[in-house]
Structure 1
């Protein structure tokens, strides 16, 4: 296909996907329409019937995203293309921080979990050699040669994959600018082309990058062999959430008309009901606190009260639906159930989180491969040389997906270090310190040793002191945390 035909094809594919994506986005935002509610009831109450949304989809997505904390990149071995591995790790992490990925990556993870996928686009920063195109340069872009990495929403970006390699062969980002003109960027293995739409897509500019790959990486959640676009983490919870919202709304309606005692009167007519100003009031109006009345034989008057209704049936149903939602989403019981006065023990909580932790570790493995590809493209764009083959084996370091206490994690790290199982650097990695924090600690260790040689000898005799300049010990960090 020609570039124009490719743009039109990807544009149609994006439009088709947007309907499903917007539905999922509405569920995450709690803006979904109320289902299972009788049309007659809607017509009866009109705007007075407010929807009560129990936003379980948002809770599911946020619970998984909160455990996806990327803390660094680790090259294997001691050198990378002749560069010390510590410097190589710091170099990649510098690109990450130059692009504010500490903020962008969680957004990409959340969209991937909620909508099934998100995207990362890598490109060169414009104007770094010739000077910025604006009068006032961005101070954050002045002194960096890092490529530009952005994360993209799936309603604005789409890819076409090679059925053999399962990697993108073309990608499209489409948006509207401030002038309400539709614009699109087409990403191909050899070039990036910019289009605007008049009556058809018209090419306005192009950039020959000749990377050999499309600089767009999908971040897919729960992808399958024949369904590469991924699946929302709360897709199976949607029917349960709809049922819970319906029951919650019914509970509020029942609370309005049945939970409060209703009075009735016989032998009284409409004319017998007046307000404080003498104006007639309808006794048949269905609002809480009003009286139901009906005429009887003259002179015979009887008044009474209907018994109030118990709302426990709604409470129990919502609890049951919460249990079903927890089972389908893999969330532990204390996320979706009502807790009592006696909370579960720490061991019971960790045991109940086993399924969720394993699912998060699976996501870390998949997302780690995607971020590794993003950083490989970034290094290739920045260096302009051959691909660094060692990047293929670079590990992405994640924070532990489980929830051990800080004391437990420290105790385990210290015991491994004392038994010689891990190095001091690896112990610090296990405790979740970032590469920059570890590097600063090692510099402070060296300064303390230089100022206190007696302490150095004592630590050496005890076998517990770190070896400055020794093996990094972190090349076997598991990318799954």
Structure 2
């Protein structure tokens, strides 16, 4: 790609315009699919009805929602707590970058988007006045896309779009290239893009990292956790619950019948006819007997009331299918089952879910390492040679051990001299947050200082009480006696 010359800095070159158009078209191509996945996550999807047992006009009046798709995403995202970068050897002060950009919270935004849509993006740039620099922002796949190089596992170009409040079209966009970032705008839909700013950073790599969920060699764009199977089971559950709701409306009142009763027995004194509801509530309880026709004795009966059991059994079966698809315990879907008898049984139930979370940590961790590299490039202009061996990604344990089990494990590892008692790894094992670890270290330093001061004060008291000790100490010779 040819770089623009000085005369064209205020306009996109032909190559840049073509690349931007291609990338924005790609964003638009995924808009409908991403909107559908988001609707399932939020429980706002419209489920098609067969129209056989339930009329369409009736189905439209009942808003039946099943939040299984959101559950399938949330139970996995809740186990992906990004805690920052671990620096061994050389120190790069990545912790301050992590804290300044609130990545303990904002990282979850990227993880959630990646699990819903299959991918998400993290952009790194220079912050303006009052902003952290480097500035790290999580970008939605609904507004951004990029071209990925399978060999370098990095993006070769990326683009994002946005619209100002009150606009009904995308009036702004950003093109990310290896050596510059170009912001463009347009006054109307279909108009040519005009360059607003060119940041010629000369980083040599695109300042955007991509979070990819479940990529394959044939599908590097990733895959959503809200798969076709998840959507199918969710749709079936919605239709089943809708049938149960309609059944409740029709059959919540007992269905009764009356034999050998004349029509005039249901007339009021003023000649009007008793309504069905009035007959059920009162009149049928006092139907007169025709003495002239003893064979026509009125007989009242009641049909068995319809129960929701068959519907709930069907929903329970669908929940088990969804649990197998998403590798989650059925209890997460709202159905009580046999409770696990021990901690080992609980871990066995969650084994597949924990493994999935660990796989996501490995995949997303590569993207967060790239974010760290980009942050150093923006701040220092280079990535140190020892970065790859000296920096790793830190995650919270994806499993759910109890506090006592974690403490017992850490105690045994320290006793076996596998871990030192004051190591950050040991602190991680027992679940202390980075801030709690810093506080523990600060408390230990204060305790050591107090101990030293206490020892000095004790020695001074002894010397004061025994002049011979004080004299010997001043002469630096051993004291006699005592």
- TM-score strictly above 0.5: yes
Task: Describe the superposition over 1:231-254 as per-residue Cα deviations: whole angstroms up to 9, x where unpaired.
Answer: 111313111111111111111111
Name 1:122's counterpart in structure 2. 124
Task: Describe the superposition over 1:322-349 as per-residue Cα deviations: whole angstroms up to 9, x where unpaired.
Answer: 1110000011233236225855432211
Distance 1:281 1:31, change over 3 A: farther
The yes-or-no answer on 1:256 pairing with 2:249 is yes
Task: Figure out how many residues of one structure are paired with residues of the other and give that number.
Answer: 420
Q: 1:392 aligns with which of 388, 393, 412?
A: 388
Q: Secondary structure at the match of 2:30?
A: helix
For the Cα contact (< 8 Å) 1:270–1:282, is it kept in 2?
no
The whole-number CA distance in structure 1 between the counterparts of 2:448 and 2:337 is 53
The yes-or-no answer on 1:200 pairing with 2:205 is no
The whole-number CA distance in structure 1 between the counterparts of 2:30 and 2:174 is 18
Alignment of 1:432-471 (within 5 A): 432-453=431-452
Name 2:77's counterpart in structure 1. 65
Task: Describe the superposition over 1:234-286 as per-residue Cα deviations: whole angstroms up to 9, x where unpaired.
Answer: 31311111111111111111122235411345666699578x999768759xx
Q: Secondary structure at the match of 1:185?
A: strand
Alignment of 1:209-248 (within 5 A): 209-235=201-227, 236-248=229-241
For the Cα contact (< 8 Å) 2:178–2:204, is it kept in 1?
yes
Alignment of 1:131-150 (within 5 A): 138=130, 141=131, 144=132, 146-150=133-137
For the Cα contact (< 8 Å) 2:376–2:382, is it kept in 1?
no
The yes-or-no answer on 1:330 pairing with 2:333 is no
For the Cα contact (< 8 Å) 1:264–1:291, is it kept in 2?
no
Distance 1:450 1:177, change over 3 A: same
| Runs of 5+ unmatched residues, structure 2 | 1-13, 285-292, 456-482
The whole-number CA distance in structure 2 between the counterparts of 1:36 and 1:291 is 40
Q: Secondary structure at the match of 1:41?
A: coil
> Higher mean Cα deviation, 58-67 or 261-270?
261-270
The yes-or-no answer on 1:3 pairing with 2:16 is yes
Name 2:310's counterpart in structure 1. 313
For the Cα contact (< 8 Å) 2:213–2:222, is it kept in 1?
yes
The whole-number CA distance in structure 2 between the counterparts of 1:323 and 1:171 is 41
Q: 2:145 aligns with which of 158, 173, 182?
A: 158
For the Cα contact (< 8 Å) 1:4–1:201, is it kept in 2?
no
TM-score by length of 1: 0.79
CA displacement at 1:229 relative to structure 2: 1.5
TM-score by length of 2: 0.79
CA displacement at 1:207 relative to structure 2: 1.3
Alignment of 1:31-70 (within 5 A): 31-38=44-51, 41-45=54-58, 47-48=60-61, 50-70=62-82
Cα-Cα RMSD: 3.1
The whole-number CA distance in structure 1 between the counterparts of 2:348 and 2:301 is 55
CA displacement at 1:100 relative to structure 2: 1.5
The whole-number CA distance in structure 1 between the counterparts of 2:53 and 2:59 is 10
Return structure 1 stretches of 4+ with deviation > 3 angstroms.
264-274, 276-284, 288-292, 299-304, 340-344, 434-437, 453-456
For the Cα contact (< 8 Å) 1:261–1:306, is it kept in 2?
yes
The whole-number CA distance in structure 1 between the counterparts of 2:328 and 2:335 is 14
> Higher mean Cα deviation, 426-435 or 335-344?
335-344
Task: Describe the superposition over 1:270-307 as per-residue Cα deviations: whole angstroms up to 9, x where unpaired.
Answer: 99578x999768759xxx99999xxxxxx976654322
Name 1:184's counterpart in structure 2. 173
For the Cα contact (< 8 Å) 2:47–2:235, is it kept in 1?
yes
Q: Which has the larger radius of gyration?
A: 2
For the Cα contact (< 8 Å) 1:190–1:212, is it kept in 2?
yes
Alignment of 1:371-450 (within 5 A): 371-383=368-380, 385-393=381-389, 394-423=391-420, 424-425=422-423, 426-450=425-449
Q: Secondary structure at the match of 1:239?
A: helix
Distance 1:281 1:149, change over 3 A: farther
Distance 1:271 1:120, change over 3 A: farther
The whole-number CA distance in structure 2 between the counterparts of 1:396 and 1:14 is 30
| Runs of 5+ unmatched residues, structure 1 | 129-137, 293-298, 457-481
